[in-house]
Amino acid sequence: MSPIGPTNPELAEALDQMAEVLVRQGESNPYRVQAYLQAAAMVRDLDEPVARLYGAGGREALLSLPGIGVSLAHHIAQYVETGRIGLRDRLLRADDPAALLATVPGVSRRLAQRLVDELGVESLAELERAAHDGRLQDLDGVGPRTTEAIRLQLNSILNRSARRRARRVRRQVAQLAAAQRRAEQATEQAAETVAETAEAAPDAEARPVATIYTLFPPAAA
């Protein structure tokens, strides 16, 4: 089955990145950083896709994972539903605006740095304005196709109705995947039960035939 929503390695990378930025910004609470690092390691080693777990059981399923509290469950749910984490975007903007811009599909790290240096763009909203007012297309090496592709990506990220639709679709697809997985497990369990029953039941031909002897002969007619 193809992955549903973000993969576990993608989610782990996002959590690792948040921890890294917190360290660079001098986070005073070491336990907060450690929580992100431990969550990233747990997610990376998890056999079951986190998106599928969330689709099947919502945030309660996330809270059942080792080391995942309310805050981390919120971030993970946000990433599964929208592909982004609000706190991560804010941290990246404060720490390195180019890193935030580079999270937009179609924006390379080099282009992101040029957007910051040459256009003064430091947020996704500012990038969207530059994509619509002509500044982005006027940048050397950025043509109309690239501008349109970035505009569409930003519309999907920033437009609330698009985000709601994306959230609903991601959730429904994840739920379908979880239902399929449960059906597969039920089928496997039923097959194992049938096999165990067949092994436990002796062969009918091998069963001894019981002969019943009466203590008294039948009465004469």
In 3D space, the residue among 51, 37, 46 whose CA is nearest the CA of residue 3 turns out to be: 51
Domains and CATH numbers, the chain: 8-160 (1.10.150.110)
The model's confidence at residue 193, banded by pLDDT at 50, 70 and 90, is: confident
Cβ-based neighbours of 5, under 8 Å, separated by 6 or more: 49, 51, 55, 80, 170, 173, 174
Cα–Cα dist 137/115, whole Å: 11
CA neighbours within 13 Å on the CB side: how many for 186? 6
Cα–Cα dist 210/128, whole Å: 88
Which range (1-5, 59-63, 137-141) has the least confidence? 1-5
Asked if residue 221 has pLDDT above 50, the reply is no
Please check whether residue 37 is in contact with residue 72, taking contact to mean a CB–CB distance below 8 angstroms.
no
Task: Give the number of other Cβ atoms within 10 Å of residue 34's Cβ.
Answer: 12
Specify the residue for token string 């501008």: 147
H helix or E strand, kind and range, residue 62 = helix 50-63
Asked if residue 192 has pLDDT above 90, the reply is no
Average pLDDT, the chain: 81
Q: Which tens digit of pLDDT belongs to each residue from 118-136?
A: 999 988 888 988 999 989 9
The model's confidence at residue 182, banded by pLDDT at 50, 70 and 90, is: confident
Q: Which tens digit of pLDDT belongs to each residue from 48-103?
A: 999 989 988 889 999 999 999 999 999 999 998 888 898 998 888 888 889 889 98
pLDDT computed for residue 4 by the predictor: 59
Please check whether residue 185 is in contact with residue 56, taking contact to mean a CB–CB distance below 8 angstroms.
no
Contacts 24+ apart (CB under 8 A), 111-114: 111/141, 111/142, 114/139
